[in-house]
Amino acid sequence: MALSSRSGVNGLPLKGEVRGAGGCHHGGVDLGRAWLGLAYLMLGAALFVAFGLLTLGLMSPLLAPDERLPPPVVVTLGAVLGLALVLVVGAIPVVRRIEGVAVEGMLGVDFGGPGPGSADRWSDRLRSVAWLWAHMLAGSIFVGCAVTVPSLGLEASGWLVIPGFVLTIAAGLLLAAAVRRAAPALLGPSAHERIVALEREARELGERNRIAREIHDSVGHALSLVGVQAAAAGRVFATDPAFAAEALTSIEEAARRASAELDHALGVLRAEKVEGAERGRGPDLSDLPDLVAATSRAGLGTTLENRLSPADEAALSPVVARELYRLAQEGLANAIRHGAAPCHVLVDRADREVRLEISNALGGSPGTLRGPRRGGRGLPGMAARAGAIGGTASAGPADGEWVVRVSLPWVGAR
Amino acid sequence: MTTRVVLVDDEPLIRRGLAVLLAAEPDLEVVGAAGDGAEAVALVRQVDPDVVLMDVRMPRVDGIAATRTITAALDPPAVVVLTTFENDDHVYDALLAGARGFVLKRATAEELLTAVRLAREPDTLLFPTRLRDLVASQRRPVRPASDLQRLSEREADVLRRMARGLSNAEIAAELVVGVETVKTHVGSVLAKLGVRDRTQAVVRAFESGFVSPTE
């Protein structure tokens, strides 16, 4: 079952590619993008000046009139100190992210995927440092040109100031283009980050395969039951009408449950697709009514009782809200397997915890669809999911009902 | 002569459906039903059926282990594996464990009844095409078997035709020999491979690469 086919590794291109400036792929010059490129160079120059001043400040004891160090030594010392300062600052992990955002926004470089994150590894930090040096170098060259070339023209002859300006701008555009080309190599995803992305992709794929297998299992199981019962009922329709009636009832139930499981599983897949599309924003508590409605539509009457106040709901951490949704989803699947309609879903807050309870009658024909490989496979997963954020999940019969209980710590939005 | 059948499936509704289906046939008699492999082994010892219809995937003792135990006995019943899924690894394992053949739960009533009736016939391979598809779907390494080299040319011819699902009479017609001769060859093939029945011989032939399931 092919569930998705995306090119590249999680959308990461193999080499960072340069996005056509504002969609201008046909060689036209996008003015806005060009100015942004020049502005990016000016930022580099500003950094250069800042580091230069800092270096001068630190060197001031050596520059006092009574110090008699030869000028080449002073210049070399200054250069080394300046480069070292950039190294120290550039190696700060978050600098890579900041530069990444600037490069994406101002130079229009598309790194693919989420863009450069914090540099957690030394190889990435060193690449960031190299990038910072390149940025400052290009910036200072550009600003250096801007300061000197037009005025040189002005000195030579009044009207030469205009070609001087044009030359400076052209040099700036060339520099920006060069910097843009170097960005993927110096800021783009490292092999390690690609592997992490690949692993995540593999995990997602594994999860999808698991769901596909579950659909196959549960629906296949139900359909063979329907087939056998229908075949038997057909054969003895005249001689054993009581059995035929009984078989029709089991067929009806099996079909309804299989349909509910199918709808549910497809809902999970759809939710994941949406989540993939809008990175970071998965379905959360606010999507619970939709989930409940979908389950009801599938033939398993389900009601939702949300006792959280709108203020509580707004204050709940998005992570907890999302996990609560996922747990409700899995809990409903569990309920479909172990009990009969209708289901009742309760969400409540108790002091420092938020609780989810899904209950339904054990009646009907218990375990109709409970195959050997479905002995609560979902429950360990739910417990792990809840446990990961400090909560608990359990399920079992209580007072003639199948009850799924989840408790998560109450964590505010921030 | 009625065929006495034991049904094994963890799903009561499947057991019930099959029981009604088989009981409607005058030549078949359901003598017992079990919900897992352990129950099945005990039940078979007790009622000594001719055929066991055995689900593979069951809780506790599964159909593979039960098939192995049941077919290890002296003069065992024919085990026919019941499966929801075609090309299931478990079904292949059950065949290796000694099952006579397999039938899909979604098979038509006729096919199911045929499987039960034919299971007792030692000279017939149950649903040869299905068996071949199952073997072809297995991505297991070919295990060359030296005992296959010991077959005479004629025995090898016979084994290839067995794998195609031909009956002894059909093989006799193809090789232009008498049925009794073919029976003798089949007997020596089974003896040389050290297997109990036709299905086992064919599975071995596929497994060792002696016959390709895609031929």
- State the nearest Cα–Cα gap between A83 and chain B, in angstroms: 59
**Span of A21-35, A44-58, A132-146, A160-174 with lowest mean pLDDT:** A21-35
**Cβ distance of B84 and A234 shorter than 8 Å:** no
* Residue A213 sits at the chain B interface (C-beta within 8 Å): no
Structure token digits, residue B106: 């979604």
- A241–B contact, CB cutoff 8 A: no
pLDDT at A23 over 50: no
3-class DSSP assignment, residue A37 = helix
The beta-carbon neighbor of B105 closest among A227, A368, A373 is A227
A213 Cβ contact list (under 8 Å, min separation 6) = none
CA–CA distance, B169 with B123 (Å, rounded to integer) = 9
Q: Do B24 and A235 touch (CB under 8 A)?
A: yes
Residues B155-169: pLDDT tens digits? 999 999 999 888 898
Among A235, A254, A372, select the one facing B10 at the smallest CB separation: A372
Residue A24, Cβ neighbours under 10 Å: how many? 12
For residue A10, is pLDDT > 50? Answer: no
Among A253, A368, A357, residue whose Cα is nearest residue A306: A357
Phi, psi of A9 (to 5 degrees): -90, 105
pLDDT for the residue numbered B117: 92
* Sign of the dihedral defined by the CA atoms of residues A325, A329, A330, A332, in that order: positive
Q: Is B30 left (phi over 0), alpha (psi -120 to 50) or beta?
A: beta
Q: How do residues A254-310 score in pLDDT, each as one tens digit?
A: 888 788 777 777 777 766 655 544 444 567 788 888 888 777 766 677 889 999 888
> Which residues are registered as beta bridge partners of A1?
none
pLDDT at B185 over 90: yes
- Confidence class for position B79, pLDDT limits 50, 70, 90: very high
Cβ–Cβ under 8 Å, residues A249 and A241 = no
DSSP secondary structure of A211-231: HHHHHHHHHHHHHHHHHHHHH
Do B84 and A231 count as a contact with CB atoms less than 8 A apart?
Answer: no
A98 Cα to chain B: minimum distance (Å): 50
**Per-residue pLDDT tens for A325-383?**
888 888 887 777 777 778 899 999 988 889 999 998 875 444 433 333 343 446 777 88
What part of A 247-276 touches B (C-beta under 8 Å)? 247, 250, 254
CA distance B94 to chain A (A): 17
pLDDT of residue A175: 92
Confidence at residue B67, expressed as pLDDT on a 0 to 100 scale: 94
Asked which of A112-126, B17-31, B91-105, B172-186 is least confident by mean pLDDT, the reply is A112-126
Report whether pLDDT(B72) > 80.
yes
User: Is A222 part of the contact surface with chain B (CB cutoff 8 Å)?
Assistant: no
Q: What Å distances lie between residue B84 and A28, A343, B9, B79, B95, CA to CA?
A: 62, 29, 11, 16, 15
List of chain A residues whose C-beta atoms are within 8 Å of the C-beta of residue B85? 216, 220
- Give the other-Cβ count within 10 Å of A43's Cβ: 15
**A240-256: average pLDDT:** 88
- Residue B151 pLDDT: 87
Q: What is the pLDDT of residue A19?
A: 43
Q: Would you place residue A139 in the very low, low, confident or very high pLDDT band (cuts 50, 70, 90)?
A: very high
CB contact under 8 A, B11 and A221: yes
**How many CB pairs below 8 A link A and B?**
68
Q: Which residue did the predictor score with more confidence, B86 or B46? A: B46
More confident residue, A26 or A160: A160
pLDDT of residue A299: 63
Length of chain B as a residue count: 215
Tokens of A399: 């007072």
| Structure confidence by residue, pLDDT tens digits, A340-353 | 778 899 999 988 88
Q: Looking at this protein, which amino acid is placed at residue A365?
A: S
- Sequence-ordered alpha helix ranges (H) in chain B: 12-23, 37-47, 63-71, 89-96, 109-118, 128-137, 153-163, 168-175, 179-193, 198-207
Is the pLDDT assigned to residue B55 strictly greater than 50?
A: yes
The greatest distance separating any two alpha carbons of chain A, rounded to the nearest whole angstrom, comes to: 120
- B interface with A, Cβ–Cβ < 8 A, is 10-11, 13-14, 16-21, 24, 57-59, 62, 84-85, 104-106, 108-109, 112
